[in-house]
């Protein structure tokens, strides 16, 4: 599927360039100075998109582990907390959650006497991280469960407590099953970061929206926007495949 | 009774509706060796796993060295590591070298320095007769060697008693004796041991008490001479005649 999208969109671009009808590729034609300025404007959102995604993913990786560990414990209340968190967070659509965090959370903070303004940057990161953590928690869960029960039993019989068992015995073995899906999950964050545009974050999608308003060339500009995401995601998935190969190679030693 | 190392009185356990252990009484004095045998599914593993708290029992009491084993996690934490356990499937940590398998418990649970833990590890590796495999990964060893590493890993915690759950059942026949030899030696040095096994040669050599279990009950229980020479129950006779034929 991915293999098809790139040639197809290139075809679309070329077709547009050659015909003169309703197409207006000049808005993003690098050969004209206006087009080049527009392209630079659009691409300049890339930094924010990447930064938001990387920070949100980093938080989600830690948060997901914190959520996942109680789910593996022998205590049923801890397991219940884990299930409620995962099911609850997973069922909230991203956009409402973003609105709630950006517009609602500051009010909660204020009523608690905490004066923390939430700007679009952190609003987007908090929302993406929390939303994604439910998924990373599940990735940890399946990775941990893939390690045979005998391993944690053996760890217990040599006196290791729960945290030590996880840290020294289970997670080091689970990591090769966890890392590739975690990296894959990063693609989800990159795509979902587009929602940050609606709270005014100057990232790829926001830039495209703003240019569409001034140039009124939605087809050409959104086509370039999609290509931008496509390139980003293709680079990440190439990284994931490299990681998977490395992890798989380790396993065979 | 007061100085028994391991004492089970009226222990019962259920898995849901299934009554796995029925009124198990067992008293193991310090330095005693008990061999448990019985058909598959009779509850042998479950008895052993209740003693080191891998499973909880629902009724009855278990005392280890005079302390009652309750289902609260604090007593669990203090007990595990004092009772060594050897599993049928070895359960070595595959991502750690042999040496790191052995030093993990002493360093993390006992707070030994790396140097002290390694010295102890090498000592016990020598005792299980694989002094020169310390830096290999578990996968690079034969089954018999892996099981001996597992025994050494338990011994590194300097346990007061050792439990063995069919330690040789997963081994190729030619490797069984190398593991049993190590266990006999351990027995002769005075370790308190409970061994689930069908190796009757080993049992005759080291056991102070023989226990035969069937359907969650201890059906027959006594010194090896009487147990092998003159089993009282038909079930035990049948079982013994079956396994002694092999
Ligand atoms: N977690 C569990 N849940 C439900 N039933 C279980 C569980 N573990 C064991 N059992 C059942 O309890 C019974 C006793 O099991 P146990 O493993 O103690 O038998 P065993 O004597 O060690 O048998 P084997 O020689 O096959 O190892 C079996 O019928 C088994 O199916
Ligand atoms: Mg068993």
DSSP state of B95: T
pLDDT digits (tens, 9 = 90+) for B174-208: 999 999 999 999 999 999 999 999 999 999 999 99
Residue B80: strand, helix, or coil: strand
The least confident of A234-243, B39-48, B191-200 is A234-243
What pTM was estimated for this model as a whole? 0.81
Confidence (pLDDT) at A204: 92
User: Among B95, B101, B150, which would you mutate to test the A interface (most chain A Cβ atoms within 10 Å of its Cβ)?
Assistant: B95
Residue B195: strand, helix, or coil: strand
- How much is the mean pLDDT over chain A? 88
Q: Are the beta carbons of B110 and A159 separated by less than 8 Å?
A: yes
Confidence of residue A240 (pLDDT cuts 50, 70, 90): confident
CA of B182 to the centre of ligand 1 (A): 27
Confidence (pLDDT) at A252: 43
Task: Please report the DSSP string for A130-147 in residue order.
Answer: HHHHHHHHHHHHHHHHTS
| pLDDT at A2 exceeding the cut of 50 | yes
What distance in Å separates the CA atoms of residue B232 and residue B237, rounded to the nearest whole number? 8
Residue A21: strand, helix, or coil: coil
Q: Environment class of residue A84 by beta-carbon count within 10 Å: exposed (0-12), middle (13-18) or buried (19+)?
A: exposed
| pLDDT at A161 exceeding the cut of 60 | yes
pLDDT digits (tens, 9 = 90+) for B122-157: 999 999 999 999 999 999 999 999 999 999 999 999
Confirm if A165 and A152 have CB atoms less than 8 A apart: yes
Q: Where do the DSSP E strands lie in chain B?
A: 4-15, 18-29, 33-37, 59-64, 67-68, 83-86, 161-165, 192-196, 209-214, 217-222
pLDDT above 70: percentage of residues in chain A: 89
CA of A198 to the centre of ligand 1 (A): 58
The least confident of A29-33, A87-91, A209-213 is A29-33
Chain B positions contacting chain A at CB under 8 Å are 52-54, 77, 80-85, 87, 89, 91-95, 104-105, 108-110, 150, 153-154, 156-157
Confidence of residue A249 (pLDDT cuts 50, 70, 90): low
Confidence (pLDDT) at B197: 95
Length of chain B measured in residues? 246
Q: Where do the DSSP E strands lie in B67-205?
A: 67-68, 83-86, 161-165, 192-196
Give the residue, by CA position, lying nearest to ligand 1 atom 18: B43
| pLDDT at A244 exceeding the cut of 90 | no
For residues A46-83, one letter each, b for 16 or more C-beta atoms within 10 angstroms of the residue's C-beta and e for the rest, the string is bebbeebbebbbebbbebbbebbbbbbeeeeeeeeebe
pLDDT digits (tens, 9 = 90+) for B62-74: 999 888 887 776 5
Which residues in chain B are contacts of A150 at CB distance < 8 A?
Answer: 87, 89, 91
* Ligand 1, CB cutoff 6 Å, lining residues: B 15, 18, 20, 38, 40-46
Query: How many C-beta atoms surround the C-beta of residue B10 within 10 A?
Result: 12
Confidence (pLDDT) at A247: 73
What does the pLDDT average to over A167-196?
A: 91
The least confident of A49-58, A206-215, B149-158 is A206-215
Confirm if A193 and A120 have CB atoms less than 8 A apart: no
CA of B169 to the centre of ligand 2 (A): 10
Confirm if A181 and A198 have CB atoms less than 8 A apart: no
The least confident of A233-242, B51-60, B237-246 is B237-246
Confidence (pLDDT) at A10: 66
């Amino acid at each position: 599927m991915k293999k098809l999208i790139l040639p197809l969109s290139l075809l679309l671009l070329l077709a547009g360039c050659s015909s003169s009808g309703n197409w207006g590729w000049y808005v993003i034609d690098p050969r004209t100075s206006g087009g080049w300025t527009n392209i630079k404007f659009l691409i300049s959102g890339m930094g924010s998109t990447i930064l938001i995604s990387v920070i949100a993913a980093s938080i989600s990786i830690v948060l997901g582990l914190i959520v996942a560990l109680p789910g593996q414990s022998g205590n049923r209340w801890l397991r219940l907390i884990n299930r409620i968190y995962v099911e609850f967070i997973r069922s909230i659509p991203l956009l409402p959650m973003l609105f709630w965090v950006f517009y609602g959370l500051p009010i909660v903070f204020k009523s608690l006497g905490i004066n923390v303004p939430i700007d679009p940057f952190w609003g987007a990161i908090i929302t993406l991280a929390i939303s994604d953590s439910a998924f990373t928690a599940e990735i940890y869960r399946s990775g941990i469960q893939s390690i045979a029960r005998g391993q944690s039993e053996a760890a217990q019989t040599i006196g290791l407590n729960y945290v030590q068992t996880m840290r020294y015995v289970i997670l080091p073995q689970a990591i090769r099953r966890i890392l590739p899906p975690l990296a894959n999950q990063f693609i989800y964050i990159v795509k979902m970061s587009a929602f940050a545009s609606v709270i005014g974050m100057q990232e790829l999608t926001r830039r495209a929206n703003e240019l569409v308003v001034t140039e009124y060339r939605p087809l050409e500009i959104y086509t370039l926007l999609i290509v931008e995401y496509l390139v980003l995601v293709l680079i990440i998935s190439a990284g994931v495949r490299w990681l998977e190969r490395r992890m798989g190679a380790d396993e065979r030693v | 009774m007061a100085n028994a190392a391991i004492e089970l009185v009226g222990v019962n356990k259920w898995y849901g509706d299934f009554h796995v252990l029925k009124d198990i009484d067992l008293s193991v004095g310090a330095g005693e060796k008990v061999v448990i045998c019985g058909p598959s599914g009779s509850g042998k593993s479950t008895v052993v796993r209740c003693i080191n708290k891998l499973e909880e029992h629902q009724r009855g009491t278990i005392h280890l060295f005079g302390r009652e084993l309750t289902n609260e996690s604090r007593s669990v934490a203090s007990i595990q590591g004092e009772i060594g356990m050897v599993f049928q499937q070895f359960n070595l940590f595959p991502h750690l070298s042999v040496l790191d398998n052995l030093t993990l418990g002493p360093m993390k649970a006992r707070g030994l320095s790396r140097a002290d833990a390694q010295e102890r590890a090498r000592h016990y590796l020598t005792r299980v007769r694989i002094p020169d495999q310390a830096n290999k990964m578990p996968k690079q060893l034969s089954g018999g060697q892996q099981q001996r590493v597992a025994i050494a890993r338990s011994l590194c915690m300097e346990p007061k008693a050792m439990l063995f759950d069919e330690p040789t059942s997963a081994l190729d026949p030619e490797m069984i004796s190398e593991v049993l030899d190590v266990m006999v030696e351990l027995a002769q040095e005075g370790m308190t041991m409970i061994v689930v096994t069908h190796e009757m040669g080993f049992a005759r050599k080291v056991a102070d008490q023989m226990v035969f279990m069937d359907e969650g009950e201890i059906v027959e229980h006594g010194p090896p001479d009487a147990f092998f020479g003159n089993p009282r129950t038909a079930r035990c006779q049948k079982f013994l005649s079956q396994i002694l034929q092999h």
